[in-house]
């Protein structure tokens, strides 16, 4: 009996069986890997490598897994997954030794280590290293089913049988084939395992045992159904090719069996069936190739359309970008124009305001110069006239008249001196050239010192004077400017008082933050209109209300400016013919403004 054809089929089919029975199990394994490895998807390269691995895009898997391995600060488990991805990808690309090298880098604490060992054994079988394959698979043979799924257990037993078969250790091969065969329920896998057992017995020249296995394998192949719609689905198309191969192989095996039996009619029948399945497979392959070409053409057409649309979209995007930048440019230009316009309007308003202030200051200056020059002219003229009279009375030795004239001259000179002093202080204040230092002051001593200088005038006009300022009252002000304020207010009180009148200086503490210093006289008083005009910031008045008293109002304006600079307040209480109260409110502590 001729066994060489069967031996050839044995070697060919054994390898085919090994490579095809794991497709479903690989899918299950990939699903498990996907669930466990997802915790490391925060690493960009690893996530991409995983996605391409599950999509079976082996080239991209190799690229991104290597990029992850090249990254610094690697997690050990991530490295194990990368070695697994690269090992399986290289296996799929038929680079078996490189795949084995990658899987050998996985550490012993990897969660899928048992599955890695199965892959190592399978790769060694593909490399014809059967002893090495047995060393990996034997370690897994006695692992409990709770740790190693039964589907993998059958694979391990079948692979061990193949290794011993190629090593011609038929006894051990028979043992593992039968253990693998006993619980097999999948028809396709059952056909492969029956063929393996049949070839084993044929090599042992046990034809009576081998032939029933070949016959059973053939009968099982007849039960395999082919769905013509499977061509459109890549995964199912592989299953269909496997069915064609199994039908073709079982028919050829039966042809050889019948030929060895000398049943040439039956052998011819199986041979024709074999050729038929072979031609059908070729036809289906051609149909599939045409379908693939049509699919590629359709994809190319669609890609061309996509490219055209992409170009259009890019053109539209460019146009939109140009319009956007143009709009932004116009808005920026409009904004700049608006900004400069508003700045121009603002500057014009400032210029107009400054011009108005300047005109007011010029008017005030002109009026001030007019009044001051008038008063000085009047004082000098009065002094000139008085000097003429003084000379005449000196010639006549009229001592009484001389005394009156000298007193009148002294009053005229004092008035002119006060006017010039106020004018000097006003100029210093306006040009910020005066020395100004706020400190704590006791009001009593300041008022006592200033009022002492006015005793001769008070006696001359027969005015009673009373200073009741408390010695405990302390304010924060500049001493020299406060003296100027008191001199002007006392001078006004004396000037507008009638003979035998009275002047009082006292304080009033009606606020926790200010102390009120009051200069009260029983003089001529003023109307409400005059009072309000005097309180205005720019009031420089020639008081016409009393024809016998002439003044510029400069002293009072100087007082208001200095009080304001001392962080104080100024107010007036007065009625016409009933006297006047000049009220200066000064801060009790340095923080008041």
SS3 state of residue 503: strand
Say if residue 271's pLDDT is above 80. Answer: yes
What's the whole-number average pLDDT of the chain? 78
The per-residue pLDDT for 559 is 85
What letter would DSSP give residue 226?
A: -
Say if residue 264's pLDDT is above 60. Answer: yes
Say if residue 21's pLDDT is above 60. Answer: no
Least confident span in 55-64, 452-461, 538-547: 538-547
**Mean pLDDT, residues 254-277 taken together:** 84
DSSP annotation string for 427-450: HHHHTT-S---EEEEEHHHHHHHH
Both tokens assigned to 13: 């089919």
The per-residue pLDDT for range 287-329, each reduced to its tens digit, is 555 556 666 677 777 778 878 888 888 888 888 889 889 999 9
**Mean pLDDT, residues 66-90 taken together:** 89
**Mean pLDDT, residues 354-375 taken together:** 66
The per-residue pLDDT for 13 is 39
The per-residue pLDDT for 217 is 81
* CA angle in degrees (0–180, nearest 5) for 112-113-117: 120
Sign of the CA dihedral running 226, 228, 229, 235 = positive
Both tokens assigned to 114: 């048992």
Distance in angstroms (rounded) separating the CA atoms of residues 359 and 373: 21
**Mean pLDDT, residues 375-397 taken together:** 68
The per-residue pLDDT for range 537-583, each reduced to its tens digit, is 654 544 445 545 545 567 788 788 888 888 899 999 988 888 899 99
In this prediction, residue 415 has a pLDDT band, given cuts at 50, 70 and 90, of low
In this prediction, residue 354 has a pLDDT band, given cuts at 50, 70 and 90, of confident
**Most confident stretch, 74-88, 231-245, 248-262:** 74-88
**Domain ranges for the chain:** 4-223, 435-587
What is the separation of C-alpha 234 from the centre of its chain, rounded to a whole number of angstroms? 47
**Mean pLDDT, residues 503-518 taken together:** 90
Measure Cα distances from 143 to 137, 152, 155, 404 in Å: 11, 11, 13, 142
Higher per-residue pLDDT: 536 or 494: 494
β partners of residue 580: 521, 574
- Asked if residues 106 and 65 have their Cβ atoms less than 8 Å apart, the reply is no
Say if residue 27's pLDDT is above 60. Answer: yes
Among the listed residues 195, 180, 290, the one whose alpha carbon sits nearest the alpha carbon of residue 251: 195
The per-residue pLDDT for 3 is 42
**Mean pLDDT, residues 260-282 taken together:** 80
Is domain 435-587 classified as CATH 3.30.565.10?
yes
DSSP annotation string for 25-72: HHHHHHHHHHHHHGGGTTSHHHHHHHHHHHTT-HHHHHHHHHHHHHSS
What's the pTM?
A: 0.44
The per-residue pLDDT for 149 is 57
Among the listed residues 401, 582, 375, the one whose alpha carbon sits nearest the alpha carbon of residue 487: 582
Say if residue 505's pLDDT is above 90. Answer: yes
In this prediction, residue 382 has a pLDDT band, given cuts at 50, 70 and 90, of low
Say if residue 346's pLDDT is above 70. Answer: yes
As a whole-number percent, the residues of the chain with pLDDT over 90 amount to 14
Q: E strands along 489-576, which residues?
A: 502-508, 514-521, 569-574
Say if residue 122's pLDDT is above 50. Answer: yes
Instruction: Indicate the fold that domain 4-223 takes in CATH.
Output: 1.25.40
**Mean pLDDT, residues 161-176 taken together:** 86
Say if residue 4's pLDDT is above 50. Answer: no
The per-residue pLDDT for range 491-504, each reduced to its tens digit, is 888 888 888 899 99
The per-residue pLDDT for 289 is 59
In this prediction, residue 203 has a pLDDT band, given cuts at 50, 70 and 90, of confident
Higher per-residue pLDDT: 137 or 406: 137
Least confident span in 5-19, 69-83, 296-310, 333-347: 5-19
Both tokens assigned to 1: 């009996």
Please, which residues have CB within 8 angstroms of residue 279's CB and are 6 or more apart in sequence? Answer: none
The per-residue pLDDT for range 461-480, each reduced to its tens digit, is 888 999 999 888 899 988 88
Higher per-residue pLDDT: 257 or 428: 257
Higher per-residue pLDDT: 188 or 449: 449
The per-residue pLDDT for 558 is 79
In this prediction, residue 593 has a pLDDT band, given cuts at 50, 70 and 90, of very low
The per-residue pLDDT for 421 is 65
The per-residue pLDDT for 295 is 67
């Amino acid at each position: 009996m001729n066994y060489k054809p069967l031996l050839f089929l044995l070697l060919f089919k054994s390898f085919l069986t090994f490579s095809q029975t794991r497709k479903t199990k690989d899918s299950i394994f990939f699903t498990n890997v996907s669930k466990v490895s997802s915790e490391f998807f925060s690493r960009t390269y690893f996530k991409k490598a995983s996605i391409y691995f599950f999509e079976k895009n082996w080239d991209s898997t190799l690229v991104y897994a290597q990029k992850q391995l090249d990254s610094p600060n690697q997690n050990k488990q991530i490295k194990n997954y990368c070695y697994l991805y690269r090992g399986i990808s290289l296996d799929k690309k038929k680079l078996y030794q490189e795949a084995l090298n990658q899987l050998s880098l996985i550490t012993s604490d990897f969660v899928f280590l048992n599955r890695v060992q199965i892959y190592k054994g399978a790769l060694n079988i593909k490399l014809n290293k059967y002893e090495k394959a047995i060393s990996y698979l034997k370690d897994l043979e006695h692992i409990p089913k709770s740790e190693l799924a039964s589907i993998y257990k059958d694979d391990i037993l079948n692979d061990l049988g193949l290794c011993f078969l190629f090593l011609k250790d038929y006894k051990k091969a028979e043992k593992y084939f039968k253990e693998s065969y006993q619980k097999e329920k999948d028809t396709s896998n059952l056909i492969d395992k029956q063929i393996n057992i049949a070839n084993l017995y044929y090599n042992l020249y046990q034809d009576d045992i081998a032939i029933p296995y070949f016959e059973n394998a053939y009968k099982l192949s007849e039960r395999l159904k082919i769905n013509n719609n499977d061509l459109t689905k890549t995964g199912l198309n592989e299953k269909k090719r496997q069915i064609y191969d199994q039908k073709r192989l079982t028919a050829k095996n039966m042809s050889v069996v019948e030929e060895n039996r000398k049943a040439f009619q039956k052998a011819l029948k199986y041979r024709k069936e074999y050729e038929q399945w072979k031609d059908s497979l070729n036809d289906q392959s051609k149909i599939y190739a045409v379908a693939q070409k049509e699919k590629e053409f359709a994809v190319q057409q669609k890609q061309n359309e996509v490219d055209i649309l992409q170009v259009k979209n890019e053109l539209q995007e460019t146009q939109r970008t140009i319009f956007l930048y143009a709009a932004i440019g116009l808005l920026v230009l409009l904004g700049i124009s608006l900004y400069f316009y508003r700045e121009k309007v603002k500057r014009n308003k400032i210029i107009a305001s400054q011009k108005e202030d300047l005109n007011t200051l010029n008017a005030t200056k002109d009026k001030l110069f007019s009044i001051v020059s008038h008063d000085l002219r009047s004082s000098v003229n009065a002094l000139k006239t008085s000097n003429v009279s003084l000379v005449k009375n000196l010639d006549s030795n009229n001592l009484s008249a001389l005394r009156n004239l000298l007193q009148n001259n002294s009053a005229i000179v004092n008035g002119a001196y006060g006017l010039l002093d106020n004018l000097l202080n006003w100029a210093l204040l306006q040009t910020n050239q005066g020395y100004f230092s706020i400190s704590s002051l006791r009001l009593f001593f300041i008022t006592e010192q200033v009022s002492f200088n006015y005793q001769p005038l008070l006696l001359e006009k027969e005015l009673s004077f009373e200073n009741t300022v408390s010695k405990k009252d302390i304010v924060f002000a500049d001493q020299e400017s406060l003296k100027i304020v008191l001199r002007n207010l006392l001078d006004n009180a004396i000037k507008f008082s009638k003979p035998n009148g009275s002047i009082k200086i006292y304080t009033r503490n009606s606020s926790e933050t200010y102390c009120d210093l009051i200069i009260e006289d029983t003089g001529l008083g003023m109307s409400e209109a005059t009072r309000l005009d005097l309180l205005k910031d720019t009031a420089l008045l020639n008081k016409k209300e009393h024809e016998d008293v002439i003044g510029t109002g400069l002293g009072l304006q100087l007082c208001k400016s200095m009080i304001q600079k001392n962080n104080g307040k100024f107010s007036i209480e007065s009625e016409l013919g009933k006297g006047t109260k000049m009220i200066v409110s000064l801060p009790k502590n340095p923080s008041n403004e």
